[in-house]
Structure 1
């Protein structure tokens, strides 16, 4: 059921609720693939393919969408349109689901809270927003959420000034695997699954911690040393690695290789681990007979930007 739009004095529809925004990284562990210099992003109107919308309601949605403030990069927002009581006692909340990302997103099961004008929680429900479909890049999609009497904590539901918001639980999110596109395309599914299982079984990094874990070290016939590390990000934000000076020690504790690596657009998403292979040319390898029965590699220093 589409909302009945309450009108302003000038006859135009008006937004009854306020807006709440969250970081797309916090909600979905997603950011735009390419950086943008834009500070303000307008979201275009998008209807679910199965919605049938009259011309009058299309106009009203378009007008209200233009009333919404621009978003910042990498934001998801809920903008309250209307809140109406139905004949069965339930309340239907209609809101724009808005995304400033440069790519299509899909939401999943999430907990939503209904807040009054003082940000007091007056309702809470868990709903599967996957039903809202794929949200196109930089778009606003109107969607209906029904709150039952049991999901509302007060009989006094305000007509205006309320807010629908995501209830985030970052601590419950599993530490997961993040693969660079080149790895995603070249790795066999079996190898991806093994890496994912390993990442999930390891104790996650401490909150805010970034560390390096050795996976594999092999010296090739030409003398080059290939070292594969798992870069583990325990932060709630993505990190970008630009330059990494690395040092490798063999089983005897002897430094066998040392060198600096420059990385281009190499990011590790929040709360994920990313594998990467660093190749030390034979000229950087200081020993002829390497004992790689055990070894360790670590950055001499880290240069990271958030």
Structure 2
């Protein structure tokens, strides 16, 4: 049975409204289509450093922990790759059958500038 978890710093800092939004997305997307990794979008933004922030709910529907060691992650819009980066996140381990929200930060040179980044999808390759 899929469970929703929050990383410790998220658990402390997350606003009530954001927590409700994530819980709603989890309820709507927690049923796996297969035993794989899926990302449900939460929000996208550009920060003051011109980095692309993509916040998703990462669903680990597999029986293995999900780790990030030079893991290629792409952000697509209508099948076009908009952002592409390799992530090494030693402290991020998503246990089997767990969904966890996370923000992936794409440096300014790793994505194509657009007017809007809405309605894209993040893929962990």
Range class of TM-score, shorter chain: 0.7 to 0.9
TM-score, structure 1 normalization: 0.36
Q: Report runs of 4+ in structure 1 exceeding 6 Å deviation.
A: none
Go from structure 1 to structure 2 and tell me whether the alpha carbon gap of 1:248 and 1:217 turns closer, same or farther (over 3 Å shift): same
**In the TM superposition, what is the alpha-carbon distance from 1:185 to its structure 2 partner?**
1.2
The answer to whether residue 109 in structure 2 is matched with residue 283 in structure 1 is yes
| Counterpart-to-counterpart distance in 2, 1:178 and 1:288 | 32
Point out the structure with max Rg over C-alpha.
1
TM-score, structure 2 normalization: 0.80
Higher relative contact order (CA 8 A, sep 6+): 2
The answer to whether residue 62 in structure 2 is matched with residue 222 in structure 1 is no
Gaps of 5+ in 1: 1-172, 302-306
The answer on whether the counterparts of 2:26 and 2:57 sit within 8 Å (CA) in structure 1 is: no
The answer on whether the counterparts of 1:230 and 1:273 sit within 8 Å (CA) in structure 2 is: yes
The answer to whether residue 81 in structure 2 is matched with residue 255 in structure 1 is yes
The answer to whether residue 13 in structure 2 is matched with residue 186 in structure 1 is yes
Q: 1:205 — aligned with what? A: 32
Q: 1:294 — aligned with what? A: 119
| Counterpart-to-counterpart distance in 1, 2:66 and 2:113 | 34
Go from structure 1 to structure 2 and tell me whether the alpha carbon gap of 1:260 and 1:190 turns closer, same or farther (over 3 Å shift): same
RMSD: 2.3
Corresponding pairs, count: 124
More strand per residue: 1 or 2?
2
Question: After superposition, where does 1:104-143 map in structure 2 within 5 Å?
Answer: none
**In the TM superposition, what is the alpha-carbon distance from 1:206 to its structure 2 partner?**
4.0
Question: After superposition, where does 1:148-163 map in structure 2 within 5 Å?
Answer: none
Corresponding residue SS for 2:113: coil
Q: Which one of 100, 103, 117 corresponds to residue 274 of structure 1?
A: 100
**Could you report, residue by residue, the CA deviation over 1:78-112 in whole angstroms, capped at 9, with x for unpaired residues?**
xxxxxxxxxxxxxxxxxxxxxxxxxxxxxxxxxxx
**In the TM superposition, what is the alpha-carbon distance from 1:245 to its structure 2 partner?**
0.9
